[in-house]
Amino acid sequence: MKKIRKYPDPVLRIKSEEIKDFDRSLKNIIKTMKEGMLLEEGIGLAANQIGITKRIILIGDEKQLYIMINPVITYLSDDKEEMFEGCLSFEELTVNILRSKSLKVKYSDENGNQKEGSFEGLYARAIQHEVDHLNGILIIDYLEPEEKLNYNMKILENKEKK
């Protein structure tokens, strides 16, 4: 199993590439992502979080897992809500982020079949969070500049201690 990449790993800032081949390699990436996400008890994971810069996200849990290849958000509700979000790529950081409460998304499944889904609540938030990842946007980017600087200083201090 591949380790989940931690900030400030540069791969987290790379804009992911579209998937064109729905082959065995893709299925292996999805399997690795699923194992990592469930092991870390996350509800979402983007491929670049395991070092693969492809447009793949997983949302859900063991009972209900959505595999979204090349996801495109086609609608975001005007009804928004602020909530604290954590991220598997960040240690000890939660950020209060304003996001749409519901959305529609078009994507392909692992076999290349076109799908469309409407999501609300936690899954809508998770999809927005993971699509941010695919575009190189991280939760730290939602912080005020001073808070961002403080977090980065804390990371540097921890590295120096090791």
State the Rg of the chain over Cα.
16
Predicted local confidence at residue 100, as pLDDT:
98
DSSP type of residue 90: S
Find the catalytic residue in 82, 130, 144, 146.
Answer: 130
pLDDT for 81 beyond 90:
yes
Predicted local confidence at residue 2, as pLDDT:
80
1: pLDDT confidence band, cut at 50, 70 and 90?
low
Which domains are present in the chain?
10-161 (3.90.45.10)
**Rounded mean pLDDT of 74-80?**
98
Let me know if 130 is a catalytic residue.
yes
Q: Which residues are annotated as a binding site for Fe cation?
A: 87, 129, 133
Predicted local confidence at residue 135, as pLDDT:
98
pLDDT tens string 12-57: 999 999 999 999 999 999 999 999 999 999 999 999 999 999 999 9
d(C-alpha 55, C-alpha 35), whole Å: 18
